[in-house]
Amino acid sequence: MKILFIGDIVASPGRKTVQTVLPNLKHELNIDLVVANADNLAHGRGATESTLKVMQEAGVDFFTGGDHLFWHKDSEDVLEQLPVIRPANYPEGVAGTGHKLLDLGEHGQVLVISLMGRTFLNERLNDPFTTADQILEMYADKDIVFSVVDFHAEATSEKYALGFYLDGRVGALVGSHTHVPTSDTFVMPKGTMFVSDVGMTGIIDSVLGVKKEIILDLYLTALNQRFEWEEAGRKVFRSVLLDTQQKEISRVDYFDL
């Protein structure tokens, strides 16, 4: 089985890039499941029903989230009605769920888990390490052929630590959130496929998707700025391919679209 994981799709340029690249790529690489991080999908923050549906039409099967997922008013309905999960380590009572078992027919069942880091990000969250333990325990008697964790986190150290903690217990741990792709795809000693960050899908000539002039002003004046997402320019598509038979993880990137 081949699973494609697309990193943070940022605003309308990100969505357009997915629409351009994904249909052919899915066909060319014989991809069975496409999971994408939707944390910045709508106007750069969060995901809406319409933006998720556009991505479903382009070929994305399932979505994970992160720190911006609850930005829009209808986010709770979206989490109920669409195939999207939020980080599992939000405190109890928060809408939605952080894990889902997907039935891929002849390929079997794939478990997708979303977790968020605490280091430099949100220290109020529950511990992602023990949350992962609890989720895996919950699914221990289920027939699962592969499991993917999207670890939405800032610190590469936290990502490596959780990767090694879950090594051999999940099929893959892929990082998201920084919007910067890392070239450290590898298989951990006990078999877990790993990458620190898949990187973003969106405009290259921006600061993580935001208009570069705005972020320059932020640094030069130290005054808070109103963020505007870059709408025009060269685009990039960032993803990783998880081949469960070959037990391989590899980057699939398209630069300058």
Question: Is 46 or 59 the residue whose CB approaches Fe ion more closely?
Answer: 46
Contact 6, 14 (CB under 8 A): no
The Cα–Cα gap between 234 and 95 comes to 36
Query: Contact region for Fe ion (CB under 5 A) — 3-11, 83-91, 216-224, 249-257?
Result: 3-11
To Fe ion, the closest distance from the beta carbon of 27 in angstroms equals 27
The yes or no reply on residue 67 touching Fe ion (CB under 5 A) is yes
**Token duo for residue 121:** 């990000």
Q: Is 177 annotated as catalytic?
A: no
Residues 142-172 as b or e (16 or more Cβ within 10 Å = b):
eebebbbbbbbbbbbebbbbbbebbbeebbb
Query: Contact region for Fe ion (CB under 5 A) — 1-9, 81-89, 95-103, 227-235?
Result: 1-9
Question: Is 12 or 40 the residue whose CB approaches Fe ion more closely?
Answer: 40
Question: Is 120 or 255 the residue whose CB approaches Fe ion more closely?
Answer: 120
To Fe ion, the closest distance from the beta carbon of 1 in angstroms equals 27
Q: Provide the pairing of β-strand 172-176 with 193-195.
A: parallel
Query: Contact region for Fe ion (CB under 5 A) — 24-32, 63-71, 74-82, 248-256?
Result: 63-71
Q: Which of 27, 68, 99, 107 is catalytic?
A: 68
Would you list the DSSP string of 200-238?
-BEESSSBTTB-HHHHHHHHHH-------B--SS-EEEE
For the annotated catalytic residues, the residue numbers are: 68
Interface with Fe ion (CB under 5 A)? 8, 39-40, 66-67, 177
